[in-house]
Amino acid sequence: MARRSRTRVVTAALVAAVASASPMAIHAARADEPAKATEPADSRAADPKVADLKDKDKGDKSLRIVVWPTLTPAGDTATRTPMHRPTEAEPALFSRSQELDVTLRDAVQDLGFQVDLAEAGPDPSHSRDLDLLERATQPIIKPKPDAPKGTAEGGTWVVSARIEALGGDTFLLRIIAVPPGGRELRVRVGKVNGADVSVRGLVMLRDMLSSSSAAVLVQTATDKAKAEDLGPGEAPRSAGRAVLAVHGAVFGGFTAFALQRSTGSEDPRVLFPLLAVGTGVGIGSALLISAEWDVTTGNAWYVTAGSFWGTFAGIALANGTNVNPFTDRYTWGVVGGVSGLGLATLALVKNKMDEGDAVLTHSGGGLGFFGGAVTELLVRGSVTDTPQVGAGLGAAAGVISMGALSTLVKVSPGRVLLMDLGAGLGALGGAALTSPLLFENVTPGKARGFLAATLAGTTLGAATAWYVTRDLKPKDTALFKIMPNAGVIGSSDTPKGAVPAYGAGLYGTF
């Protein structure tokens, strides 16, 4: 009993020093420790501020704690001795562990923590690191099996002390603490003399559970939770407003110009007012749409692809088929642009396009234009004609097919641009290899050979770029992997202490 009284006096002295610099010092006064009290207990209990602070702390999840009984060994080295509570058959360990348990339980109460003194701790076989983390997520008082769901509150601090004899009167002391709901262990380790076990254990626990340390841990967990709730930054609403407005201005102005030309009038007094009206209507429509719906940059460029390549296809087909009168060809362009705009809007009704989808659609129109033009020249066997029909049909087919494909797949803009680059380099390579066919006496056969090589190079270049830029999956871990191991592989307990055991072997997967 004398040793326990001496331990409590040391505990009281150290905790008083900590509490004097801590916001939780109001909880340090205890009835059985008059040395620390500066005024009667009744007057402190009658203080409404003290009562309010105590009531607040009782509901604060960060001030709840569970102290498990001390276990041995400390787990610092490999040993054949299973983890257990010291028994009377181990007199030194048993005595020191009893002192340490009493000291730690008194210390956490003096520091203002709400401790469950009735919890005897788990079975030693369930005191591993994962068990500590799991207990930290549970309430301080476990609900009864028949209790209604939702009655358990929050988590709790968990403290587990480990002690191990090193020989003589020296011990290895390890204090482990887990904050409420935490996913990491806070550990303090030290080599201490037998007479200092309880004191050093108190100091180590104080470092982890002092008001400043606890506040830092709780604030860190709170900031992390807030960051996870916020998630990544979102783009502003209707980020594609500017792109859509420029597109509306250009297409509105072209539509007004086409309408003026389709009437056979070339009077500038009519043209410029119509251009102003068409441009204004286009910009106004774009701004209204952006205000009503969230138009992303990808959506805006996707719509632009439909109207631009649709207009180009309409004008190319009208020129290729010699539509007369000539002014009607502008009408073909407007019809093509409106058709492309309608198809793009229809695709956006059920899909949200990103920048990669928009670039893929534009790429389809450009490659379709080139492929269609080369195909028409290949059929004619000429390299001097103007392939407007093939260019128009190719552009229309390319933009429609790639626009539909973009609703099914997701691809990055960079990969699409690299595929376009590969197609261009392939076309250039094919044309360079077969350019001697065009030196002199160009026949339809030579022209077709040159055009076929160019078209094949385009296809091969695009396919190569697609293959090279594919997403590579990490290789599976080798099933057979061995590494040599030599040195201390264990230890043996002797009356003089732990004796290391040396050996060699192999470890790995095989």
Q: Given this model, what pLDDT does residue 67 score? A: 87
Q: Are 102 and 4 in contact (CB under 8 A)?
A: yes
Residues 183 and 327 in one domain: no
CA–CA gap between residue 244 and residue 294 (Å, rounded): 12
Q: Which tens digit of pLDDT belongs to each residue from 318-330?
A: 999 988 888 889 8
Res. 471: pLDDT tops 70: yes
Res. 452: pLDDT tops 90: yes
Res. 393: pLDDT tops 60: yes
For a pLDDT cut of 70, what percent of the chain falls above it? 74
Residues 204 and 335 in one domain: no
Res. 194: pLDDT tops 80: yes
Q: Answer yes or no: is 258 within a domain.
A: no
Q: Given this model, what pLDDT does residue 222 score? A: 64
Res. 316: pLDDT tops 70: yes
CA–CA gap between residue 62 and residue 66 (Å, rounded): 12
Respond yes or no on whether the N-terminal peptide bond of residue 325 is cis (omega within 30° of 0): yes
When pLDDT is cut at 50, 70 and 90, the band that residue 1 belongs to is very low
Q: Given this model, what pLDDT does residue 377 score? A: 92
- Report which of residues 153 and 177 the model is more confident about: 177
Q: Given this model, what pLDDT does residue 77 score? A: 64
Q: Answer yes or no: is 422 within a domain.
A: yes
For a pLDDT cut of 90, what percent of the chain falls above it? 29
CA–CA gap between residue 451 and residue 385 (Å, rounded): 13
When pLDDT is cut at 50, 70 and 90, the band that residue 182 belongs to is confident
Residues 442 and 344 in one domain: yes
Q: Own/partner pairs for 165-171, CB < 8 Å, 24+ apart?
A: 165/72, 165/90, 165/92, 165/93, 165/497, 166/191, 166/497, 166/498, 167/496, 167/497, 167/498, 168/497, 169/92, 169/193, 169/194, 169/195, 170/194, 171/93, 171/96, 171/197
Q: Answer yes or no: is 146 within a domain.
A: yes
Q: Given this model, what pLDDT does residue 24 score? A: 38
Res. 151: pLDDT tops 50: no
Residues 193 and 99 in one domain: yes
Please give the mean pLDDT across all residues of the chain.
Answer: 78
Residues 99 and 208 in one domain: yes
Residues 80 and 213 in one domain: yes
Res. 11: pLDDT tops 50: no
Print burial letters for 33-59: b (CB count within 10 Å at least 16), e (below 16): beebeeeeeeeeeeeeeeeebeeebee
Res. 425: pLDDT tops 60: yes
When pLDDT is cut at 50, 70 and 90, the band that residue 366 belongs to is very high
Q: Could you write out the DSSP letters of every residue in 378-425?
A: HHHT-SSS--HHHHHHHHHHHHHHHHHHTTT----HHHHHHHHHHHHH
Residues 317 and 422 in one domain: yes
Q: Are 285 and 253 in contact (CB under 8 A)?
A: no
Instruction: Give 146: exposed, middle or buried? Use CB within 10 Å, 0-12, 13-18, 19+.
Output: exposed
**Where among 229, 253, 283 does a domain terminate?**
229
Q: Given this model, what pLDDT does residue 217 score? A: 55
Q: Are 372 and 395 in contact (CB under 8 A)?
A: yes
CA–CA gap between residue 117 and residue 445 (Å, rounded): 98
Q: Given this model, what pLDDT does residue 263 score? A: 82
Q: Which tens digit of pLDDT belongs to each residue from 81-92?
A: 778 888 888 888
Please give the structure tokens belonging to residue 126.
């369930």
Res. 305: pLDDT tops 90: yes
Q: Given this model, what pLDDT does residue 38 score? A: 39
Residues 222 and 329 in one domain: no
Domain that holds residue 7: 2-229
- The side-by-side arrangement of strands in the sheet containing 64-71 is 114-115, 64-71, 157-167, 170-178, 186-193
As a whole number of Å, the CA-based R_g of the chain is 40
When pLDDT is cut at 50, 70 and 90, the band that residue 334 belongs to is very high
When pLDDT is cut at 50, 70 and 90, the band that residue 26 belongs to is very low
Between the ranges 92-96, 431-435, 503-507, where is the mean pLDDT highest? 431-435
Res. 344: pLDDT tops 70: yes
Q: Answer yes or no: is 252 within a domain.
A: no
When pLDDT is cut at 50, 70 and 90, the band that residue 418 belongs to is very high
Closest CA to 244 of 289, 277, 292: 289
Res. 19: pLDDT tops 50: no
- Report which of residues 129 and 58 the model is more confident about: 129
Q: Which tens digit of pLDDT belongs to each residue from 207-223?
A: 877 654 555 555 665 66
Res. 47: pLDDT tops 70: no
Residues 316 and 440 in one domain: yes
**Where among 451, 468, 485 does a domain terminate?**
468
Residues 306 and 401 in one domain: yes
Residues 204 and 326 in one domain: no
Res. 52: pLDDT tops 80: no
Residues 138 and 25 in one domain: yes
Q: DSSP 3-state helix, strand, coil percentages of the chain (rounded to 5)?
A: 60, 15, 30
Res. 358: pLDDT tops 70: yes
Q: Answer yes or no: is 488 within a domain.
A: no
Res. 7: pLDDT tops 80: no
Q: Answer yes or no: is 487 within a domain.
A: no
CA–CA gap between residue 162 and residue 92 (Å, rounded): 14
Q: Answer yes or no: is 266 within a domain.
A: no
Please give the structure tokens belonging to residue 42.
């009744």
Q: Answer yes or no: is 140 within a domain.
A: yes
Q: Given this model, what pLDDT does residue 312 score? A: 94
Q: Which tens digit of pLDDT belongs to each residue from 227-273?
A: 555 555 555 778 888 999 999 999 999 999 988 888 887 888 888 98
Give the least confident one: 103-117, 424-438, 476-490: 476-490
Bridge-based pairing state of the strands 157-167 and 64-71: parallel
When pLDDT is cut at 50, 70 and 90, the band that residue 29 belongs to is very low
Please give the structure tokens belonging to residue 456.
């094949």
Q: Specify which residues 115 forms β-bridges with.
A: 65
Q: Are 111 and 28 in contact (CB under 8 A)?
A: yes
Give the least confident one: 75-89, 212-226, 300-314, 459-473: 212-226
When pLDDT is cut at 50, 70 and 90, the band that residue 14 belongs to is very low
Domains identified in the chain, total number: 2
